[in-house]
Amino acid sequence: MNKSSHSGRRQLVVGNWKLNGNRHENAILVRGILAGWQDNLNVDVVLCPSDVYLQQTAELLSARSIFLGAQNVSEFWQGAFTGEVSAQMLADLNCRFVIIGHNERRRLLKETDEQIVQKFIAAQRANLTPILCVGESLQHREQGLQLQVIKSQLDAVFSQTGKECLVNAVLAYEPVWAVGTGVTASPEQASEVHCFIREQLGANADKIRILYGGSVKAHNAAELFAKPDIDGALLGGASLNPEEFVSICKTASLIWQH
């Protein structure tokens, strides 16, 4: 199975380490990933450690073909905003990507659509590629409102930025009920939403990568990646296990052939 016939979009696998690890454990994790890594893998890979370990991770990765990403960014550019980390600071540390609007930040940290838009704009201003997360709650899914919820999350950004800016962005569909729960959306459920998202993306829709996130593991990655509109994965738990993480990257690489 490969995707050459329908997509010029190279698969992308992003590891979101969240609030886990310490210096020592991160070093073990990165070394574990590099031990299984092959530079000829046909996949883009991003690691998103805590900001305080970005420098360490960059040094350990050295020149390997794995990108660095952040889990969050300030909506402010600079100034008196104690405790914030700006997009230009992340770019200065060689970050190339930043996750924006993750459901844990929307729900637990009460991030608003307005903040998410400002973060998206700040990221692009610093030449970071935003990975914009959208996804419905279990309650919304049970009410059949998933597409409506996703449309409103997307519109909140598009209405201020226009759709042209998406050429330098990645989208991630992460149903809240699937993140960290061990319950994965079926390939059909994910695919339905990915197709819907793509329909919303305007003229450049075919060029934009849409990742799936929510309990993706080595055993279910292949069936998700096989769907034409699923361009890779945003991984939480599976990214903390180096063997599993590399195995998922290899699955993505095998599926996307020239």
Maximum separation of any 2 CA atoms in the chain, in Å: 53
Rule CB under 6 A: choose which of 234, 249, 252, 255 binds ligand PGA: 234
Binding flag, residue 12, ligand PGA (CB under 6 A)? no
Query: CB-wise, 41 or 236, nearer to ligand PGA?
Result: 236
Active-site hit among 75, 104, 174, 244: 174
Query: CB-wise, 32 or 180, nearer to ligand PGA?
Result: 180
Binding flag, residue 130, ligand PGA (CB under 6 A)? no
Active site residue 102: yes
The distance of closest approach from Cβ of residue 77 to ligand PGA in the complex, given in angstroms and rounded to an integer, is 26
Query: CB-wise, 36 or 237, nearer to ligand PGA?
Result: 237
Binding mask 132-171 for ligand PGA (x = CB under 6 A): ----------------------------------------
118 half-sphere exposure, CB direction, 13 A CA radius = 11
Which 3 state secondary structure label does DSSP give 46? strand
Amino acid of residue 198: R
E strands, the chain, in order: 12-16, 44-48, 67-70, 97-100, 129-134, 170-173, 210-213, 232-235
The distance of closest approach from Cβ of residue 78 to ligand PGA in the complex, given in angstroms and rounded to an integer, is 28
The distance of closest approach from Cβ of residue 18 to ligand PGA in the complex, given in angstroms and rounded to an integer, is 7
Q: What residue is closest to ligand PGA based on CB?
A: 236
Q: Could you give the C-alpha distances from 117 to 124, 125, 127, in angstroms and in order? A: 11, 12, 15
Phi–psi pair at 212, nearest 5 degrees? -105, 140
The distance of closest approach from Cβ of residue 137 to ligand PGA in the complex, given in angstroms and rounded to an integer, is 14
The DSSP code for 65 is S
Phi–psi pair at 222, nearest 5 degrees? -60, -45
Instruction: Please enumerate in sequence order all residues whose Cβ is within 8 A of that of 179, keeping only pairs 6 or more positions apart, or say none.
Output: 103, 104, 135, 213, 214, 215, 236
Q: Which chain residues interact with ligand PGA by CB under 6 A?
A: 16, 174, 179-180, 213-216, 234-238
Active site residues: 102, 174
